[in-house]
Amino acid sequence: MPIMRTINKGRVPVKIYTDDIDSGACEQLANIARLPFIHSHIAAMPDVHRGIGATVGSVIPTRGAIVPAAVGVDIGCGMNAVRLSLSGTELPDSLKKTREAIEEAVPVGFNMHKSVKARRSTLTPLDAGLEKILQLHPTVGKMIKNIGRTWSQQIGTLGGGNHFIELCLDENDDVWVMLHSGSRGIGNVIGRYFINLAKQDMRRLQQNLPDKDLAYFTEGTEYFDDYVHAVQWGQDYAMANRREMMRLTLDALKGVLPYFVITKEAINCHHNYVSIEQHFGEHVYLTRKGAISARDGELGIIPGSMGAKSFIVKGKGNADSFHSCSHGAGRTMSRTVAKRTFNTDDLREQTKGVECRKDAAVVDEIPGAYKDIDQVMANQSDLIDIVHTLKQVVCVKG
Residue 245 assigned as binding residue: no
User: Do 63 and 39 touch, CB atoms closer than 8 A?
Assistant: yes
Strand 299-302 vs strand 291-293: parallel, antiparallel, or unpaired? unpaired
Q: Is 279 annotated as a binding residue?
A: no
Establish whether 163 is an annotated binding residue: yes
162 among annotated binding-site residues: yes
User: Would the annotation count 2 as a binding residue?
Assistant: no
Q: Is 94 annotated as a binding residue?
A: no
Residues in contact with 339: Cβ distance below 8 Å, sequence separation at least 6, in sequence order: 360, 363, 364
Q: Check residue 159 and give left, alpha or beta (phi > 0: left; psi -120 to 50: alpha).
A: left
Phi, psi values for residue 23, rounded to 5°: -65, -35
Sequence-separated (6 or more) residues with CB below 8 Å from residue 172: none
Tell me: is residue 305 an annotated ligand-binding position: yes
Q: What is the DSSP letter of 88?
A: G
Question: Would the annotation count 252 as a binding residue?
Answer: no
- Annotated active-site positions, please? 327
Q: Is there a binding annotation on residue 159?
A: no
Sign for the pseudo-dihedral over CA of 379, 380, 385, 391: negative
CA 310 to chain centre: 14
- For residue 353, give the DSSP letter: T
Residue 226 and residue 245: Cα distance in Å, rounded?
Answer: 28
Query: At 34, is the secondary structure helix, strand, or coil?
Result: coil
DSSP 8-state secondary structure symbol assigned to residue 193? H
CA distance 335 to 316: 33
Give me the amino acid identity at 264.
K
Flag whether 398 is marked binding.
Answer: no
Burial class (CB in 10 A: 0-12, 13-18, 19+), 178: buried
Is residue 272 marked as binding? yes
Nearest to 91 by CA among 177, 175, 178: 175
**329 annotated binding-site participant:** yes
Is the dihedral angle over the CA atoms 303, 304, 306, 312 positive or is it negative? negative
Tell whether residue 275 is among the known ligand binding residues: no
Sign (positive/negative) of CA torsion 53, 318, 178, 249?
negative
Three-state DSSP class for 39? coil
User: Does the annotation place 166 within a ligand binding site?
Assistant: yes
**Selection from 116, 123, 394, 144 nearest residue 257 by Cα:** 394
57 is in an annotated binding site: no
Find out whether 65 is annotated in a ligand binding site.
no
Whether 327 has a binding-site annotation, put simply, is: yes
Q: Crossing angle for the helix pair 224-253 and 184-204, nearest 10 degrees?
A: 160
Residue 180 is assigned to a ligand binding site:
yes
- Residue 131 annotated as binding? no
370 secondary structure, DSSP code: B
Binding residues, as ranges, are 74, 162-166, 180, 271-272, 303-306, 310, 327-330, 397
Q: Which residues are annotated as a binding site for Mn(2+)?
A: 74, 163, 180, 271
Binding site as annotated, residues for GMP: 162-166, 271-272, 303-306, 310, 327-330, 397
